C-alpha cells in the first residue's frame, strides 16, 4: 500500500494546512519540514528576485533552523541548484538526514505554492496534491486578527482565498486523478473518516497515524466578532461564486458593532 512519491499540501493560508501537516507527521512513515515556498514566487529560478524571496526572509531562515538545515549548506544549494525541483529535492534530502529519517517519505506543506501549481505539477508528474478549503469568512477574519499571517485590508484578505481557489480549480482538470480535496469544516468535525480517506488517497495506512483527534477544536466562527456587514458584503463580491460552489453561505450577517467590540475586549 505504501508509496514513496511525495505529495503536496496547498491552498489558501489560514485554511488548516498546518493542522493537517501536524496530524500526518504523527505517522512513522511521513516527514514534512516547515514551509519551503519554492514554488510560490513568480520570478524564474536563479533570478535575483527569487533568491531574495527564498534566501533572505527571517521567517524562512527560522524555518530552516527549525528543520536543522544549516544556512551555509542551504546557500550552497541556492547557488548550485539548477531548478526549483533540484532545490526542493536537495533540501528534502538534507532535512531527512538532519532528522535521522533517511528513507522516510517526505511531503511538503507550503499553502502558497498554489501560485506555482502548474509548474509544480509538471516538475512532479507522479506527485499527488492535497487541497484544503475553508469558509472564506473565517479565513478573512483570521487574517484580519493577524496572529500568524496578517492582511492590510478585507479586500486583500478575501483575495488570498479567491486567488487560491480560482487557481486550484482552473488548473485541476489537468491532473484531476492526482487531487484530493478536503473541507476544513469536515476535517475538524469528522477527522477519523476524512483522514482515512486522505491516507488511502496518498497510499498510506491510516492506522499509522497517532494524532489525538480530541485535540481538534470546533470552528469558532470568529468572523461574527471581527467582520462588519460591509466587510461580509465585500467578501461576497470577491469570493461569492466560488464560495457558493463549496456550499458556503456568505449572506450571514456579522454582529452589531457594540456586541462585536464587547467580544473583543
In the chain, domain spans: 7-211
Select from 113, 133, 140 the least CA-distant residue to 235: 140
Contact present, 235 and 250 (Cβ < 8 Å)? yes
Select from 161, 114, 113, 104 the least CA-distant residue to 137: 161
Select from 145, 129, 140 the least CA-distant residue to 15: 140
For residues 208 and 92, what is the distance between their CA atoms, to the nearest angstrom? 22
CA distances from 36 to 3, 45, 49, 220, 234 (A): 22, 14, 16, 29, 32
Tell me the CATH class for 7-211.
Answer: alpha beta
Verdict on whether the full-model pTM lies above 0.75: yes
Q: Which residues of the chain have pLDDT under 70?
A: 1-3, 254-265
The pLDDT of residue 148 is 87
- Cα 51 off chain centre by: 22
For the record, the C-alpha cell of 92 comes out as 528534502
For residues 133 and 246, what is the distance between their CA atoms, to the nearest angstrom? 9
Contact present, 103 and 4 (Cβ < 8 Å)? no
Phi, psi angle pair for 181, to nearest 5°: -115, 135
Amino acid at each position: 500500500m505504501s508509496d514513496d512519491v511525495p505529495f503536496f499540501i496547498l491552498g489558501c493560508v489560514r485554511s488548516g494546512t498546518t493542522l493537517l501537516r501536524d496530524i500526518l507527521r504523527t505517522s512513522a512513515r511521513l516527514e514534512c519540514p516547515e514551509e519551503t515556498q519554492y514554488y510560490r514566487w513568480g520570478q524564474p529560478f536563479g533570478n535575483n528576485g527569487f533568491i531574495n524571496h527564498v534566501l533572505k526572509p527571517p521567517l524562512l531562515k527560522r524555518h530552516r533552523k527549525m528543520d536543522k538545515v544549516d544556512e551555509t549548506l542551504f546557500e550552497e544549494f541556492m547557488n548550485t541548484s539548477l531548478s526549483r525541483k533540484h532545490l526542493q529535492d536537495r533540501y528534502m534530502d538534507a532535512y531527512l538526514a538532519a532528522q535521522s529519517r533517511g528513507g522516510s517519505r517526505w511531503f511538503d506543506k507550503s499553502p502558497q505554492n498554489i501560485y506555482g501549481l502548474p509548474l509544480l505539477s509538471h516538475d512532479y508528474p507522479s506527485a499527488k496534491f492535497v487541497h484544503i478549503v475553508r469558509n472564506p469568512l473565517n479565513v478573512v477574519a483570521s487574517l484580519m486578527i493577524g496572529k500568524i499571517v496578517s492582511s492590510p485590508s478585507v479586500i486583500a484578505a478575501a483575495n488570498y482565498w479567491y486567488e487560491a481557489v480560482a487557481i486550484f480549480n482552473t488548473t485541476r482538470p489537468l491532473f484531476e486523478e492526482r487531487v484530493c480535496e478536503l473541507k476544513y469544516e469536515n476535517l475538524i468535525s469528522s477527522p477519523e473518516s476524512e483522514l482515512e480517506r486522505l491516507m488511502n488517497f496518498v497510499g498510506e495506512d491510516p492506522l499509522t497515524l497517532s494524532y489525538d483527534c480530541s485535540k481538534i477544536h470546533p470552528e469558532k466562527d470568529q468572523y461574527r466578532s471581527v467582520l462588519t456587514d460591509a466587510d461580509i458584503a465585500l467578501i461576497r463580491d470577491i469570493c461569492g461564486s466560488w464560495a457558493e460552489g463549496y456550499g458556503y453561505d456568505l449572506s450571514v450577517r456579522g454582529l452589531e458593532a457594540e456586541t462585536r467590540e464587547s467580544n473583543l475586549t
